[in-house]
Structure 1
């Protein structure tokens, strides 16, 4: 039988024919696609023609199309809807793909052609996009170890293959810990929980074939449980399970994996002549060096810690007033923070949540994109990889722009968190491709027949991931290697964090925040309270994030620790971490850092981008308002459409005319006057 993954997809806009793809198709398709790609690379490397941009760099850009298509389907589906077969395939593919990459980057003839072009770059008459792609290709070869020889080259290959295996194991261990744990609740245990939390717990119980409601480790369920449950012992049990993912002993324990990963990253950096992994990883980023990252994080840490300690003292007094002796604990923070928010701002999330319907928030994100960039979204009736996923065609002026797929609900087969990815990225050369983009979230699924309700944090996450999607959908570059989100890691979060600001625009909430039962718009008084409370508990939020970012940086800025947990404890003690706040991501479940190299030494990136996003939204406020057409056109023209076709700092300078300081970030977080 013909493998559908290897055929031309006669589907709307070339969307993968998910209803005809079997897990059995992936392994033979990947095997054939790898062979095809290697043959294409060998043909480029062994060409008798003198190297030119067209026969080397552009040819490399066009090579591997089948492999990109097959892996685009596999990894997106494996992340959002895993099963035993897909997990086994991930374990098989990891070392194979790492070896394939090493074979390309260690191909001496291929590197010689790239190096020859690089040496002659000023005489080639290259366009700006061509010069950029040549620069990135040459840099990629050098950073991959192409200039290494003999034993060093072989060791680099072995290190990268092992790191790929470790990243896959880390991810699968974490998914198993998250999917296996649940806490059954009696009817008495539901006391004090708002209806939306009870509904989510009952829905989670149904999904697990339990007779009653359960709490799972899905963020959209466990966070509101910690926020609202008056039963302190249950909060402690839930918090400990959530905070100890990946460190429960046995086969799913990630501590040894983290230690080995850090050792191998250090070795990889030193093979290339760097002092440590952080210097290697940060070299191509906007920050450039660990010291610049540390300076930013510490500038935010001290005011954030001061705010958090003030809040902690107030909530500890509330705890004692409730008759509980002893200090405020991490499982108490959200419960008393919610009480304090109600007292200070008269804002109750149970009152707010019926106004934040998932479908209405999707409409809001789409409507903002329409007003800013002229995009239209029309539902597509096509088979997708899961019944919860849905798709839209994106057009502008009647012309096709992209396909947008969204998959919003938590399930045991989906890894935690929220992300944006692409089944296919935009390009013009050597072939024209339009993007197929996906947003994946983990919102609590409501019982059948009831609307899905979001917390304000959930709604912000939806806007955040859609900002990434816009970066992909509005990409307008020559080459796929610099398309969309293929930018510096500490620049990639700018579009996503910037888009969150439109959720806070009063007219957006005024139009789309409508009550799930009555359809009435959010009352102006409630809207005002929501916006006034936007920076509430920001000390906590900033401390838990910055602590994780600093631990990540310290892991990679010195000799790899034999015991990462001890190093983590030392860093937190040195910082004076408030005892009632846990890291947002402790080492054994720090998937950003250990599931792959993506955010290793780079978790700071969200804050680096936030410095820019606060300043970028100010550009709208200084002009005609949040939907000013001239500023929107500049945002698209200089940032969203450009991908990685220029240096990130140059793009931002073209948009704003200057680089911002940290002051706007501190003010935006309510940590400075």
Structure 2
């Protein structure tokens, strides 16, 4: 998800911050001439011109951007006039324009198309950026100016959004440690810098582990069960190569008939960052302990308590209560599913106990037998570009009236990236969308959305947004056929994009997706519902060869299988979310000696290890959401927002479904509001009531 650096350090604890760079800025001045990052791009929507930006441009541009922001902050704090909204709050908001312009393309590249030079720059910048933002958010003079305004905020006559901006900054400064003593601020700066360095180290080590963990197959016969196009896509020189996805379970485990190869692939995934030269165990222990120390310094019992302050959940207890209400039902359903799968193993003439690497393969057999649904039957109907244009875009047009036109004249950072211009119903330009869908070694695992340009009326900017996925790239000349899960991922990530496109804020730091983690996944998960909506599905699910529309028989099979394997899916998710919380609820005096044992004990404590063949969706050692991104003590948010998502879709079902009127109301009251309102009140105002958990339980087949 897109978050600006200020939001990351304050809300998520992912420090990507700054330094005292005046001397470095002087040394770098020669590198700023003809540096395209120093001036606003002349391309449409001011989107970065990747045809001009080179790796070597980033370091001097970052140093200069930090210097300029430091200078702007110094002007605020040295101002002898009484603090006003304009000379303090607005001045802070305007201070980081260049830094955002440099950061956005840099983090797009380091996430989706990195290389050794970019990784070195990222490692160099991490502690410096941390120090830079600490110098801002731990600046007592600056905080006192904000505090003066915050104390008399009701007397200032501010409009709603300006008042929210003031309140947001004041709360962020408090959370960042502005009330600490001078000596404690110095300790916090050291912790933040170290945390930033460790986070970068984790990401870079994990990327290397993912690449090194690939399985090489020399005998094509071992790939029995895969289609010819799938086998062709794995071709690597004279061998075949299976690269690792970021999750524990790997997509091909569903199809591979060779049990030895399945075991080898699963264990390569499970052990990728454990015991090799790409071992992350020491790093995650150090990160967890460092975060616990940070929380103690800030006056909290644990990091999760500190991190959850500006979320809908508010406290770790509320998160754990959510888990407690779901774990028994999820594990009971998973246990029943394992019994059925074990019976299928026996029915297949095999005699072994179900293991994690067997689950998806035999679950697929159960699904075929129970629902007569074969993934290979439906993949020909899910060609990537058709799904995007006739499915994802079509649903958005029907709901919100927006239209799309492909642009081939916009330079991108990789040849695989597709670009579309987005228009309002009346033809007015709305923004640019980039879609980067295929896996490659230079891209980290997972799927995400972020901004290259953030919407704001203050700077007269319309949004430029990108979605990144990791689908298997087909061989030359072959169609890009997706699994149904891939289709859902496309709808999910575009839900984030819609949240960003419909942003209608004055101030960039309140714009679009700059909301609490346990709300930001709501628009994306809600958007998944349209993937199976009849009018949408029939429009995009067409056979890539014949153009034949998917049959109602296959649609019925997909829908009937909707609650299949949900015990497994929810348990593996809960296991990962629980690990996240337990890593971040440790007290500052706890010393962890063995990451694997900590993980084992954590899952046993909450009874999430009761079904042997169900492994956490992410093991701690490759859990990039919490150790390499902004979701520390926040992975629960996908489940929290899933409750909102199903409750919201229930409202749509009861009010006519996919209509322009419903879409416009949702856009006006939710998607366009950014972080300008209390999120709970915003949801209740739109929905007309508190969210209910029953639609979630029904969707998961748990009631």
Give the TM-score band, short-chain normalised: over 0.9
Paired residues of 2:380 and 2:543 also in contact (CA < 8 A): yes
Query: Which residue is equivalent to 1:82?
Result: 114
Tell me by how many angstroms 1:9 deviates.
Answer: 1.6
Q: Deviations over 1:447-474 (max 9, x none)?
A: 1111100000000000000000000010
> Normalization by structure 1: what TM-score?
0.96
For 1:218 and 1:517, the matched residues in 2 are separated by 28
Query: Which residue is equivalent to 1:390?
Result: 418
Tell me by how many angstroms 1:552 deviates.
Answer: 1.1
Match of 1:653 among 668, 676, 684: 684
Query: Which residue is equivalent to 1:228?
Result: 255
Change in 2 beyond 3 A, CA 1:561/1:376: farther
For 2:79 and 2:541, the matched residues in 1 are separated by 61
Paired residues of 2:210 and 2:246 also in contact (CA < 8 A): no
Query: Which residue is equivalent to 1:11?
Result: 43
What are the within-5 Å matches in structure 2 for residues 71-150 of structure 1? 71-150=103-182
Tell me by how many angstroms 1:371 deviates.
Answer: 0.9
Query: Which residue is equivalent to 1:619?
Result: 651
State the number of aligned residues: 662
Tell me by how many angstroms 1:477 deviates.
Answer: 1.3
For 1:194 and 1:498, the matched residues in 2 are separated by 32
Query: Which residue is equivalent to 1:213?
Result: 240
For 1:62 and 1:245, the matched residues in 2 are separated by 43
- Within the alignment, does 1:453 sit opposite 2:485 as a pair? no
Query: Which residue is equivalent to 2:599?
Result: 568
Match of 1:403 among 415, 432, 450: 432
User: More displaced, 89-98 or 219-228?
Assistant: 219-228
Q: Deviations over 1:529-564 (max 9, x none)?
A: 111111211111100000111111122223255133
Tell me by how many angstroms 1:320 deviates.
Answer: 3.3
Query: Which residue is equivalent to 1:533?
Result: 561
Gaps of 5+ in 1: none
Paired residues of 1:561 and 1:567 also in contact (CA < 8 A): no
> Normalization by structure 2: what TM-score?
0.92
For 1:226 and 1:278, the matched residues in 2 are separated by 35
For 2:323 and 2:140, the matched residues in 1 are separated by 41
Match of 2:319 among 283, 287, 293: 293
Query: Which residue is equivalent to 1:582?
Result: 615
Change in 2 beyond 3 A, CA 1:377/1:220: farther
Tell me by how many angstroms 1:326 deviates.
Answer: 3.7
Query: Which residue is equivalent to 2:291?
Result: 265
Change in 2 beyond 3 A, CA 1:573/1:283: same
What are the within-5 Å matches in structure 2 for residues 147-296 of structure 1? 147-185=179-217, 186-202=219-235, 205=236, 210-218=237-245, 223-250=250-277, 252-296=278-322
For 1:319 and 1:91, the matched residues in 2 are separated by 48
Alpha-carbon RMSD: 1.4
For 1:131 and 1:7, the matched residues in 2 are separated by 31
Gaps of 5+ in 2: 1-32
- Within the alignment, does 1:444 sit opposite 2:472 as a pair? yes
Tell me by how many angstroms 1:190 deviates.
Answer: 2.4
Q: Deviations over 1:167-216 (max 9, x none)?
A: 111111110011123222322112222234223323xx2xxxx2232211
Match of 2:396 among 364, 369, 375: 369
Query: Which residue is equivalent to 1:662?
Result: 693
User: Which SS does the other structure have where 2:517 is aligned?
Assistant: coil
Change in 2 beyond 3 A, CA 1:219/1:253: closer
Q: Deviations over 1:413-447 (max 9, x none)?
A: 00000000001111112x22111100000000011
Paired residues of 1:221 and 1:444 also in contact (CA < 8 A): no
For 1:428 and 1:365, the matched residues in 2 are separated by 27
Paired residues of 2:229 and 2:478 also in contact (CA < 8 A): no
Query: Which residue is equivalent to 2:52?
Result: 20
For 2:360 and 2:293, the matched residues in 1 are separated by 41
Q: Deviations over 1:136-180 (max 9, x none)?
A: 100111111111123211000000110001111111111001112
Paired residues of 1:45 and 1:110 also in contact (CA < 8 A): yes
Tell me by how many angstroms 1:568 deviates.
Answer: 1.4
- Within the alignment, does 1:350 sit opposite 2:403 as a pair? no
For 2:167 and 2:248, the matched residues in 1 are separated by 46
Tell me by how many angstroms 1:219 deviates.
Answer: 6.1
User: More displaced, 576-585 or 83-92?
Assistant: 576-585
Match of 1:519 among 537, 541, 547: 547
Tell me by how many angstroms 1:249 deviates.
Answer: 2.9
For 2:511 and 2:454, the matched residues in 1 are separated by 7
What are the within-5 Å matches in structure 2 for residues 592-603 of structure 1? 592-596=625-629, 598-603=630-635
Query: Which residue is equivalent to 1:378?
Result: 405
For 2:514 and 2:314, the matched residues in 1 are separated by 17
Paired residues of 2:399 and 2:661 also in contact (CA < 8 A): no
Tell me by how many angstroms 1:48 deviates.
Answer: 1.8
Query: Which residue is equivalent to 2:63?
Result: 31
Paired residues of 1:494 and 1:610 also in contact (CA < 8 A): yes
For 2:675 and 2:608, the matched residues in 1 are separated by 38
For 1:219 and 1:46, the matched residues in 2 are separated by 48
Match of 2:533 among 467, 486, 505: 505
What are the within-5 Å matches in structure 2 for residues 629-648 of structure 1? 629-648=660-679
- Within the alignment, does 1:471 sit opposite 2:502 as a pair? no
Tell me by how many angstroms 1:220 deviates.
Answer: 10
Q: Deviations over 1:42-80 (max 9, x none)?
A: 111111221100111011111110110001110111110
Q: Deviations over 1:83-106 (max 9, x none)?
A: 000010110010010000011112
For 2:566 and 2:223, the matched residues in 1 are separated by 28
Tell me by how many angstroms 1:671 deviates.
Answer: 1.3
Query: Which residue is equivalent to 1:591?
Result: 624
Query: Which residue is equivalent to 1:327?
Result: 353
Change in 2 beyond 3 A, CA 1:221/1:198: farther
For 1:609 and 1:196, the matched residues in 2 are separated by 36
Query: Which residue is equivalent to 2:18?
Result: none
Change in 2 beyond 3 A, CA 1:192/1:221: farther
For 1:137 and 1:529, the matched residues in 2 are separated by 51
User: Which SS does the other structure have where 1:18 is aligned?
Assistant: coil
For 1:567 and 1:180, the matched residues in 2 are separated by 25
Match of 2:490 among 462, 476, 485: 462
For 2:555 and 2:228, the matched residues in 1 are separated by 21
